[in-house]
Amino acid sequence: MKVPPISDQRVCITGAAQGLGAAIARAFAARGAELVLMDIDVHGLAALNAALGGTATVIPADLSDATACRQAIGRMKAAGGPVDTLIHNAAILRPEPFDQVSLDTYFATVNVGLQAGFLLAQAVWSGMKARGGGALVFVSSQSGIKGFADETAYCAAKHGLEGLSKCLALEGADHGILSCTITPGQAMQTPMSEQNYPPELKARWVDPAALAPAFLTIAETRSPAFNGQRLNAWDLSNRKETTQ
């Protein structure tokens, strides 16, 4: 099936109220996509939607809660047709020594990062199969590649996303469904990085808007070369070597 242009796509973006998610939303809006934006930040979502002209479907939701996530999915389905591109960007990072991580923090982190990704992908899967394809994009990081001290729950969530994406790439290939993870590939200035980056990273960070073109490329090409891969948003945005 020919990949529809972005202007004909329905795109769901989680963690859309700020940072990278908001930058991705702006990039897709500029290309005329129909947007579904999810985030726990009600006011941030409203402000972004107003800046985009008020045309997006805005769904405030606590994605750490399975029931709330399913309710958000129900609202997404009720508001329009099948999703062509899912970008799961939402995440929680609360750095703490392992012996101080509470079970609540662990589950909140893993549920937002991994459980919500699973539920959202499963929700859009049948629609993508019926339409002959789609793109599932899971935002990962270096924490999905290696371990970091004080990031037990976050690394577990990101490593889980890597495995989920690889499995979906295999199962979706015959249906035209692309699944991949994508790392920023460059330090970026976001509220999360404001809180967690050391000075040396802050000295060279970039606006997340510089990484948004990578997401457009994945959605508009669905290149088989991307399927099951971990992509580098900085390099893909600048058309360099894409896998890492």
Which residues are part of the catalytic machinery? 154
- The Cα angle at residue 104 between residues 101 and 107, in degrees rounded to 5: 95
Helix 42-51 and helix 19-30: axis angle, to 10°? 30
For residue 184 the two structure tokens come to 């920023």
d(CA 12, CA 16) in angstroms, rounded, equals 9
Q: Is the dihedral of CA 125, 136, 212, 221 positive or negative?
A: negative
Six token digits for residue 62: 């606590």
Exposure of 142 by Cβ count < 10 A (0-12 exposed, 13-18 middle, 19+ buried)?
A: middle
- The overall longest dimension of the chain from CA atoms, in Å, is 51
Residues forming a β-bridge with 183: 232
